[in-house]
Amino acid sequence: MEIKNVMVVGAGQMGGGIAQAFAEAGYNVKLNDIKQEFVDNRLEIISKGLQHQVEKGRLEQQEFEEIMTHLTPSVSYDDAADIDLVVEAATENEKIKLSIFKELDEVAPKEAILASNTSSISITKIAGATKRHTQVIGLHFFNPVHAMKLIELNIGLTTSQETIQVVQKVGESLDKTVIMAKDSAGFVVNRILIPMINEGICVLEEGIASAEQVDEAMRLGSNVPMGPLELADFIGLDVVLSIMQTLSANFGDTKYRPAPLLVKHVEAGMLGRKTGHGFYNYE
């Protein structure tokens, strides 16, 4: 199966990054969200970012124009009627994702592949919401998409070998390194990363060190580019909490218990960079 036409569902930061990556690789991309203003705003952000690259001499004007011609706005799942591959990048909420896949399954061509950018939710469960169990797979990008070279290919119990091969080829065509991961909560990266962030929050909560000291210790002591609390603010504390709750529910191990301080921050609406305040103040 040859993939030419792609729909990305969700015009947030991740969805926009994914749509841009596909457009830059020459795919025809429909960027979909529930409101026109969401899509228009994201396309404007993409355009400005590419124009900046032109001004810096990193991109030719003709290349910029070509990329933008590959991006089309969409506010209806009916637009998936001629799509080869759908990449869902909606909010990390199981109920919402299952509903999206159920609707897309009714509209997309029967041979189309439905992929999710989920960072923690079971691909097998998502596939169960459709009638095309063999054609559902996880295609997990990392933020920011343009800078992060990894894609996790998350394989559900029913995902066919053909689907795996097609989507692996697509991922590699985006100039990404693709790794395979069996369907397990958190897959590879977030199974390791998010509990590490959670433990950093516990260290802060217990008064062992300040936020600045926790992050500096990890940057200098383990050679990571961002400390756990900085990274939590960048990801979004609501997303971190959602993944921890998924890990806890799936494994039932106390080591996956969300830090109470993380829960309090989310309850207070202090979600990190996107709200201007998390473990650091960005206002």
Which residue out of 32, 190, 198, 242 is catalytically annotated?
190
Q: Which of 74, 119, 122, 242 is catalytic?
A: 119
Would you place residue 1 in the very low, low, confident or very high pLDDT band (cuts 50, 70, 90)? confident
CA distance 6 to 62: 22
Answer yes or no: 119 catalytic. yes
**Minimum mean pLDDT among 111-115, 211-215, 240-244: which range?**
240-244
Active-site choice (152, 230, 242, 265) = 152
Asked if 190 is an active-site residue, the reply is yes
- 8 Å CB contact between 100 and 92: no
137: β partners: 115
Q: What CA–CA distance (Å, rounded) separates 144 from 106?
A: 31
Is residue 140 annotated as a catalytic residue, yes or no? yes
Strand, coil or helix: 264: helix
CA distances from 81 to 47, 77, 88, 136 (A): 26, 8, 15, 17
262 vs 277: CA distance, rounded Å? 13
Structural contact between residues 154 and 187, judged by C-beta atoms closer than 8 angstroms: yes
Angle, helices 189-205 vs 260-267, to 10°: value is: 90
Please compute Rg for the chain using Cα positions.
19
Residue 173 has pLDDT above 90, yes or no: yes
How far, in Å, CA of 22 to CA of 47, rounded? Answer: 14
* Active-site option among 5, 28, 140, 154: 140
Count the helices and strands in the chain (H runs, E runs). Answer: 11, 8
Per-residue pLDDT tens over the stretch 247-283: 999 999 999 999 999 999 999 999 999 999 999 999 8
248 part of the active site? no
Mean pLDDT throughout 233-258? 94
- Give the end-to-end CA distance of the chain in Å, rounded to a whole number: 48
State pLDDT tens for residues 86-144: 999 998 889 999 999 999 999 999 999 999 999 888 999 999 999 999 999 999 999 89
